[in-house]
Amino acid sequence: MVILPLGTTEAHGPGLPVDVDAHIVGHVARLVGERTGALVLPTLPYGYSSTWLNYPGTVSLRAETLHEVLLDALESLVGQGFRTIFLLNGHRHNYSVMETVARTAMDRHGPEHEDLLIATGSYWEIAREEINALRRSELGGMAHACELETSLELAIRPELVDTEAIEDADRQIAAWDAGAVQPSVLVWRPWLRPDRHSGIVGDPTVASEESGKAFLEAIVAGVSEHVERLARGESVDYYTQPVTEDA
């Protein structure tokens, strides 16, 4: 069982560093690896972040570039004998590419290796019920540089969080919320510009170290359970219920 964490490098408002997505998903993956025994690869620090390119510090790969990078990585792993691979996502807009590349690799190698399982998932969707139970913000408070991400960073590396800058910044309530039950959809908003918007989508003012530790434990527990099911050869749909070979 091997986990490949995917993040990105993009602006997260005035109070958080640009590697938030990569850092959080890598940290989660390492803790899950310690808990489950799964192997964890180094985090891919660049992703599909075109929405935030107007904000300094953002580095985006084109969707087709990310697809080819991930496909090459999967080719390497399958060629070395790995048969259970989990792409763990830490940046929302990566997901459409991840799902496509996983299907491409399965179509290419599945007929030859019937035991091959390549799965994808975003940590906040796997643990969404637990996250919603712990949240302090209303719906719309968790999207980008929000309560969830700010709390997690306060719990993991508080020295890189500027709470005063967050308090002083203008904020936008999210139309999409990380704790909502619907699957992720990709939306491109060309009006995201620093002269109109600080880069905070959600409500980070209610974030805290205490909340971050609770979120982190819930996420690691949820992703660990997900990984253990995959390692047993089960196909898991975290929108409904796990589906086994007997179903």
Domain assignment of residue 244, yes or no? no
Decide if pLDDT at 134 tops 70.
Answer: yes
- What's the confidence (pLDDT) of residue 195? 77
Lowest mean pLDDT among 5-19, 119-133, 223-237: 223-237
Cβ atoms of residues 178 and 143 within 8 Å:
yes
Computed over its alpha carbons, how large is the radius of gyration of the chain? 18
Segment 137-141 shows an average pLDDT of 91
Q: How many domains does the chain have?
A: 1
Decide if pLDDT at 170 tops 80.
Answer: yes
- What's the confidence (pLDDT) of residue 181? 55
CA pair distance 144, 3, nearest whole angstrom: 24
Domain assignment of residue 215, yes or no? yes
Lowest mean pLDDT among 19-28, 31-40, 178-187, 211-220: 178-187
pLDDT band at 245 (very low <50, low <70, confident <90, very high): very low
Domain that holds residue 25: 2-231
- Whichever domain contains 108, its CATH number is 3.40.50.10310
Domain assignment of residue 238, yes or no? no
- What's the confidence (pLDDT) of residue 240? 47
Q: How far is CA 11 from CA 53, 118, 207, in A?
A: 9, 30, 18
Cross-strand pairs, 47: 60
- Look over the chain and give the mean of its residue pLDDT values, rounded to a whole number: 89
DSSP 137: S
C-alpha dihedral, 199 to 211 to 222 to 128, nearest 10°: -50
Angle between helices 20-36 and 209-231 (to 10 degrees): 50
Cβ atoms of residues 116 and 78 within 8 Å:
yes
pLDDT band at 164 (very low <50, low <70, confident <90, very high): very high
Give 43's Cβ-side CA count (13 Å radius).
24
Decide if pLDDT at 183 tops 80.
Answer: no
pLDDT band at 197 (very low <50, low <70, confident <90, very high): confident
User: What's this model's pTM, rounded to 2 decimal places?
Assistant: 0.90
Domain assignment of residue 236, yes or no? no
